[in-house]
Amino acid sequence: MLLAPPGAGKGTQGTRLAEHLGIRHIAVGDLLRDHVRRGTPIGERVAAAVDNGELAPDDVVLEAVLPDVVVAAAAGGFLLDGYPRRMPQALAAADLALQLGVRLNAVVYLRVPENVLVDRLVHRGREAGRSDDTPDVIRNRLRLFTEQTAPLISYYRDRGILVTVDGDQPPDDVTADILRRLHELRESQDKPDEGEPAKPDEG
């Protein structure tokens, strides 16, 4: 899972990681915007939130994400980009993982200074013409991240699956840093606890 404030590069890194790991990249923000563009019932329920930079209702987000997650899980795995974004969603995601028989292996937190985020988002808004990248909306989105999403950092750190990466680097360096940290996390997870015998090699 990718956890980061708006403008931190989740889309770029999510695409790269999914390709490297051979799993489905589920970008929840893009998914919701697609529903809005197509005028689906889900899109009608989240349109105002998307345009104002607010978080969409938890039940609607889960309804939008669930079909893609089920298909991706059956195909070998997925990388969630932009979900969960607050504690109720995190708990719902944990329940969903249990129902699907999968577990969250790692959470990548991209840390980027706020002034860099604002500059990136303003530039992106001008280039792409996105209605949710105006200065007022950007400030609201960053405030929401601090208030509602940032607590997830401690939640996943306490579960021992959080890796923090400096997102204020060239994209290639960020990708390399993420892969290195994920490798270190996997090695630590595979390492037997003290007093327990090492797992025998398979093969």
Taking the domains of the chain in order of start, what are their residue ranges?
2-186
Query: CA–CA separation, 103 vs 121, rounded Å?
Result: 32
Cβ–Cβ < 8 Å for 167, 4:
yes
- Unique residue bearing structure tokens 């005028």: 39
- Fold classification of 2-186 is Rossmann fold (3.40.50)
Dihedral, CA atoms, 166, 104, 180, 29, nearest 10 degrees? -40
Query: CA–CA separation, 96 vs 89, rounded Å?
Result: 10
Strand segments (E) across the chain: 2-3, 24-27, 78-81, 107-111, 162-166
Task: Report residue 11: phi and psi, to 5°.
Answer: -60, -50
Report CA-CA distances (Å) from 156 to 61, 65, 81, 124, 162: 20, 20, 15, 29, 5
pLDDT by residue, tens only, the chain of 203 residues: 999 998 899 889 999 999 999 999 999 888 998 999 999 999 999 998 877 777 788 888 888 988 888 888 888 888 988 888 889 888 887 887 787 777 788 999 999 999 999 989 988 888 877 666 777 888 888 988 888 888 899 999 999 999 999 999 999 999 999 999 999 999 988 776 555 444 433 33
Phi-psi region of 7 (alpha: psi -120 to 50; beta: other; left: phi over 0): left
Q: What pLDDT score does 192 carry?
A: 64
Cβ–Cβ < 8 Å for 174, 9:
yes
Q: Tell me the chain's radius of gyration from C-alpha atoms.
A: 18
